[in-house]
Amino acid sequence: MQPLAELKPVVDEAIAPERPIIQVSGLDHVYPSRDGPVHALSDIALTVGEGRFVVIVGPSGCGKSSLLMMLAGLRHQTAGTILCSGRPITDPDPDRVGVVFQEANLFPWLTAIDNVAFPLALRGVSRAERAARANAMLELVGLGDAGGRYPHELSGGMKQRVSIARGLVQDPPVLLMDEPFAALDEQTRMAMGEELLRIWSATRKTVVFVTHSLTEAVYLADEVLVMSARPGRIVDRMEVELPRPRTYEMMAGAVFGRLRDRIWQQIKAPAR
Amino acid sequence: MRSSLPVLLGRALLIAAFLGAWEALPRLGVADPELLPPFSTVLGTLWGLLARPALRADLAITTVQLLVAVAVALPVGTLLGLLLSENPRLGAIFDPLVFFLFSIPKSIFLPMFILTMGIGFWQKVAFGVFSTVFIVLMSATAAVRAVRPDHVFVARAFGATRAQIAWRVYLPSMLPILLEGFRLAVIFGFTAVLLAEMYASRTGMGHQIASWGENFMMDRLFAGVLLLAIVAIVLNEAIRAVEVRCSHWRS
Ligand SMILES: Nc1ncnc2c1ncn2[C@@H]1O[C@H](COP(=O)(O)OP(=O)(O)O)[C@@H](O)[C@H]1O
Ligand SMILES: [Mg+2]
């Protein structure tokens, strides 16, 4: 008879083939505010497998940014635990997690390359190594020759590329992105999505990407987590079984449409 | 800001016209040479004065008083400004008081400084500090407001410590405004020190100017004015050059 212990890993693998890198359970968050407490997140549980591209989609104000800030250690949850690589996240830890924000938020007094190198400078990495690594990241995001420019000399899309390079420069296993393309125009946004997928497949990072765009969610994701309106709850989880590389044509396909509709049903359902 | 050639030419012409009039009016008898000595005479007097060790000592003491006053007012004003703007309750208590003090002409306090501190070096430094510290404080407060919370947040996300945030986010964000305050402090400090010297002193350029005026030595008076004007402009432009270097990214 086969011992149970030997069977177990096989069962696990059937559910989540990748090793979990982020594990969230029982997460709850309440903001105190002048008009009374705001229940932002309620009983969030999720697992992100290593190397996966997971998109969290939900209506504005449902707590997506709050959740991401907690994953980044930038905000403390009221209750619940967040594990990253098996250890709790309580404070920002750039070795484990890189962050890209909605606004690129580059430092206007630094050149593009110095912005990318900023996280390394905080760690006291030598000047030569900083320059080499920041340059490699700029190459990766397709801005190899713009390193000497200041942010005010860059377009919105270029700024966001620099911001991605900065998020990746310390080579963290996880990249968190909070609506990084929401401030860009439609064409740039499409191009940046494609570009991000290229970068992702080149680096094999785990990406947790927040958006309120259904199309963006389905186009980018391995897996979509759908959040309800406040208090944010995860109401649905779906695999996007579209082949990679993703193409623009897939958006017109039946699978794409079905997934998008399913998200839409979830998001609009609790309209009160 | 680069100016075009016609603009530069226009400016040069204006200065030449001014100096030309200064030279010509007394020589042609339009202005009384006793009251307005010609430019070339004043220039000659200035040259002669600069050769005299006594005058160089006066110039040095005025400059040192100004520099010491600014060197005290700058860190004190900046730290007080930081304290008040990072500490909402302290700020709420002190802000109106600081604002009132800022708006009072400092010159009316000069007699009190003389009564309590005499007419020596430190009295003039103290009056210089008093006249500039509020300017620095106000500009530091404005500079803190120029620090964007987003930038602090980003730095925190990448693991910056408090000291790193101060050095790498606060300082560069604040620098352009701080330098502007610094420049104003030098201008007002110069005024304060010269005023204190003119009012009651045995040394310094202010004292000299006052006594040349009282003794109707117009060529020396004009030479002194010319010299101080040049010193003030050079100081101002030097700080402005640093300012431009540190705020090119603000465009
Ligand atoms: N610092 C805060 N204090 C009080 N309420 C907040 C704060 N931050 C966010 N909220 C509230 O929490 C809810 C979720 O916000 P957020 O996480 O930014 O949502 P999303 O990113 O999905 O738009 C919103 O209703 C918002 O008003
Ligand atoms: Mg948000």
Instruction: Classify the phi-psi angles of A37: left when phi > 0, otherwise alpha if psi is within -120 to 50, otherwise beta.
Output: beta
**CB of B166 within 8 Å of any CB in chain A?**
no
pLDDT, position A269: 58
CB of B128 closer than 8 Å to CB of B73: yes
Q: Omega before A9 cis (within 30°)? A: no
Tell me the pLDDT tens digit for each residue of B26-64.
999 898 988 999 999 999 999 999 999 999 999 999 999
CB of B140 closer than 8 Å to CB of B81: yes
Residue A97 pairs with which residues in a beta bridge?
A: A174
DSSP letters spanning B170-227: IHHHHHHHHHHHHHHHHHHHHHHHHHHHHHS-SSHHHHHHHHHHHTT-HHHHHHHHHH
pLDDT in tens, chain B (251 residues): 567 899 999 999 999 999 999 999 999 989 898 899 999 999 999 999 999 999 999 999 999 999 999 999 999 999 999 899 888 898 889 888 888 888 899 999 999 999 999 999 999 999 999 999 999 999 999 999 889 999 999 999 999 999 999 999 999 999 999 999 999 999 999 999 999 999 998 999 999 999 999 999 999 999 999 999 999 999 999 999 988 888 877 76
Q: Is the CB of A65 under 6 A from ligand 1?
A: yes
Task: Name the residue among A103, A109, A152 with its Cβ closest to that of B172.
Answer: A109
The CB density around residue B36, as the number of other CB atoms within 10 Å, is 17
Distance CA A53, CA A58 (A): 16
DSSP state of B250: G
Which are the contacts of B107, defined by CB distance < 8 A and separation ≥ 6?
Answer: B192, B195
**Chains A and B: how many Cβ contacts under 8 Å?**
53
Determine the 3-state secondary structure of A3 from DSSP.
coil
> Which of B172, B159, B183, B139 shows the shortest CA–CA distance to A121?
B159
Q: What type of residue is B15?
A: I
Tell me the pLDDT tens digit for each residue of A219-257.
999 999 999 888 888 999 999 999 988 988 899 999 999
Q: In terms of pLDDT, which residue wins out, B229 or A7?
A: B229
> Which of B98, B14, B56 shows the shortest CA–CA distance to B204?
B56
Distance CA B102, CA B185 (A): 12
Give counts: helices (H), strands (E), chain B: 11, 0
pLDDT, position B4: 87
Give, for ligand 1, the residue of A38, A74, A99 to mutate: max count of ligand atoms closer than 8 Å to Cβ.
A38
Domain ranges of chain A: 103-171
> Which of B88, B85, B83, B194 shows the shortest CA–CA distance to B146?
B85
The ipTM (two decimal places) reads: 0.83
Contact assignment for B168 to A105 by CB distance below 8 Å: no
Specify the ligand 1 atom closest to the Cα of A67.
17
Determine the 3-state secondary structure of A47 from DSSP.
strand
Task: Name the residue among A103, A122, A150 with its Cβ closest to that of B159.
Answer: A122
Question: Which residues of chain B are within 8 Å of residue A152 when distances are taken between CB atoms?
Answer: 249, 251
Phi, psi (rounded to 5 degrees) for A50: -60, 135
Task: Name the residue among B159, B249, B251 with its Cβ closest to that of A92.
Answer: B159
